[in-house]
Amino acid sequence: MSEVNTQSYDTPNSLDNSGHSLLTQKRRSSSNAVLSPAQNSTASTFLSDLSSESFCDHNTSVSFAPAQPSCDPDTLAHFLAQQAKLPIKNPLLTAHEISPDLRARMVDWMIEVTSKANCSRNTLFYAANIMDRFLCETAIPMKADGLHLLGVVCMMVASKLEDVAVMDQEFMCEYVIHGKATKGEMAALEREVLKTLGFWVSAPHERLFVTEIINVLWSEEKPGNEAGSFSQLREDAQTVATLNLFNEEFSAVPPAVMAAGSIMYSAQRKSLEHILDVEELARLANATAAQVRQTEELIAEHTYNFRDLHPGVRRVFEYIKSDILD
């Protein structure tokens, strides 16, 4: 097995404007492509789905009326089947010279990079998921000064999964790490990550489960199932899921159970318990009601004490538009 390069790289304070402009220009170029009638229909459906999402956009105050999402129970069943294939995780950081605070600051930086580059929100979750799974499964101890390059590579791999205009090696080298790593070094670590994970980089994460579980609940015609309530619940639970990324201990909990806990916590905060049945929520997450309640308590404690638990984190407060941390 090849050795992971642990050369030191300084984490830049921000993604510079030239890099942001380059990726934005690439996206605009992609959007000018001529679509077939079938592609136009698909694109319209996709844009309609996006209208009910909440993204960290600082430049617009446009709001959309929530539309009931399409619901396919087979999608949730597929994610649960994939989750069952995940190996039992080793302790995340014990084999490495990486502190929980350093990992949290890496997640914080990932939020800035993926947000400024207009990546899909799922890109962030895939990147953090790939990073954590690699740290759990690799046999090579990772030094603290190697975490930055690992984070960059994980974002690059995740962007290939989710984004139309990907953050490729050229973009990462010039605009994110400012030439402090070569394309060869990035390619070598990317190969190591892919080989360690058996090339399975699309394992389901908490945000996917939040979306699919709420879609199923939303589709059920029950008294009190109002569109606005579920739209708000989904937005808040996705925000809580983002905060959960900062706690390395949560990586040992199945993502579906984390999602159920985040949904339950979000419902209690907004007095929306009446639209949730904990037993049904647990069934959808393939868990017990006791497991969901216990997870919700851990999430509530982490969220309430977030600022004290993660003193080195600062960027997330700029990108999360929510009252959850107030």
Q: Which of 137, 162, 196 is a domain's end point?
A: 196
Residue type, 24: T
Quick one: pLDDT at residue 306?
Answer: 95
Q: What is the tens place of the pLDDT at every residue in 10-61?
A: 444 444 444 444 444 544 444 344 444 443 443 333 333 323 333 233 333 3
pTM given for the model: 0.78
Quick one: pLDDT at residue 13?
Answer: 43
Percentage of the residues of the chain whose pLDDT score is greater than 70: 74
Q: Which of 158, 173, 196 is a domain's end point?
A: 196
Taking each helix axis as running N to C, give the angle between helix 147-162 and helix 183-196, from 0 to 180 degrees, rounded to the nearest 10: 70
**Measured distance CA(138)–CA(1) in Å, rounded:** 10
Q: What is the DSSP string of 64-98?
A: ----PPP--HHHHHHHHHHHHTSPPPPPSSTTTT-
CA-derived radius of gyration, the chain: 20
In 3D space, the residue among 86, 156, 150 whose CA is nearest the CA of residue 126 turns out to be 156
Q: Are 296 and 265 in contact (CB under 8 A)?
A: yes
Quick one: pLDDT at residue 160?
Answer: 94
**Measured distance CA(85)–CA(73) in Å, rounded:** 19
- Which residue stretches of the chain have pLDDT < 50? 1-24, 26-69
Quick one: pLDDT at residue 18?
Answer: 44
Quick one: pLDDT at residue 86?
Answer: 86
Quick one: pLDDT at residue 227?
Answer: 59
Q: Residue 158 sits in which domain range?
A: 85-196
Q: Are 156 and 150 in contact (CB under 8 A)?
A: no
Q: Which of 131, 164, 196 is a domain's end point?
A: 196
Same domain assignment for residues 263 and 245 = yes
**Measured distance CA(314)–CA(307) in Å, rounded:** 9
DSSP secondary structure letter of residue 156: H
Interacting residues of 323 by C-beta distance below 8 A, sequence separation 6+: none
Quick one: pLDDT at residue 123?
Answer: 96
DSSP secondary structure letter of residue 172: I
**Measured distance CA(137)–CA(92) in Å, rounded:** 9
Q: 51 in a domain, yes or no?
A: no
DSSP secondary structure letter of residue 273: G
Q: 71 in a domain, yes or no?
A: no
